[in-house]
Amino acid sequence: MALENLISIEFTTEELTALDTHLDGIQQVLAGKMVNITPEQRQQYGSIGNQNKLIVDKAKNYMEQHPNWVPNFIDKTEFDKDYNARQQMEERTQRLQNLTQQLLDTKTLLDHDNYTNTLSFYRMIRYLAGENEPGSKTVYEDMKVLFARSGRPTSTDQQTDA
């Protein structure tokens, strides 16, 4: 009985080249503008939640309406620059996160298909080795170590080597 194939896709060489070219372009545009922070810094600085975004938006709006109320120790030009860049990055980040999730989901289905087929192949090799099919014992012995598990046996393990 044939196994269910959850997904079937392929990329042409031209498509992969185009993807890589566009990814290279994104990296080039972002070069020198992005930073990497440590996990400790991520914890220290945190992330701004939706409620705090609303507070920042409200403050920005009031700063625009009442520029004379902005304390002189706030660099309003730098604030505006940071605010605009953050909004621009937010839009792109959401698009990239959506694409990343789609790539991960598609890869998950491809991994499932590959692993399911691999298990079927391994079972066949195990059977052929038991039937003394020439060459199958070597393949079975080589693959068997990859399926060795500690702990409770699975249905695959229960059928092996007894």
> pLDDT under 70 in the chain at which residues?
1-3, 150-162
Predicted local distance difference test score (pLDDT) of residue 4: 82
pTM of structure: 0.75
Angle at 151 between CA 146 and CA 152, to 5 degrees: 100
Distance CA 31, CA 139 (A): 48
Predicted local distance difference test score (pLDDT) of residue 102: 97
Predicted local distance difference test score (pLDDT) of residue 128: 98
Q: From residue 65, give the alpha-carbon distance in Å to each of 7, 58, 59, 135.
A: 55, 11, 10, 82
Predicted local distance difference test score (pLDDT) of residue 149: 77
Predicted local distance difference test score (pLDDT) of residue 158: 44
Predicted local distance difference test score (pLDDT) of residue 150: 58
